[in-house]
Homo-oligomer: A and B are copies of this chain.
């Protein structure tokens, strides 16, 4: 970048945006560097490929100006040769990773921390935590839906353990929360689980 262009950038940035006005003022001139930055920001935050026309409408400039800005951005991304690319897809623009590193990306996605639970698993875990020891038919009765995969997930994540059978029709397995459950939720023991009273204290407004 030439020193002159650099100075222009600084000037633009020093100039505060009209923060008091919610509407973007169409009257203000938008420089090429700023337009490029806004286009990049919009492409980054958009949840699907965003067209030059959409960007032009938001910023209230000519579509051609946006297309020039994007062309420069593409050039920058290619020159930089980092992990990201700016690509045109389905009539719009998108930032994506280059294909080279898919192996590591897949390895990461597979290894993602597993302390998270789906809502179904969470519900099942909640029932087990508060009603333990409890059988699958009892969980079904309370939740109103079958939860076999949730139980498998919880067993896989070692949050629950099977503990004996209930002496009733079919002798179903009983489940309870594990030591791992206490660790993951930072509990010393089960008595530390919040009770309905703890919750009502907050919801009802009166403490003590």
Contact = CB atoms under 8 A, between A and B. Distances in A.
* Most chain B CB atoms below 10 A, which of A108, A163, A201: A108
Given A109-B45, A111-B58, A192-B164, A202 B151 contact: yes
A104 B24 contact: yes
B146 A207 contact: yes
A38 interface: yes
Contact of A164 (B17, B36, B188): B188
The A interface is mostly helix, strand or loop, or mixed, namely helix
Contacts of A17: 100-101, 103
Nearest to A46: B108
A127 interface: no
Interface in A145-167: 146, 148-149, 151-152, 155, 162-165
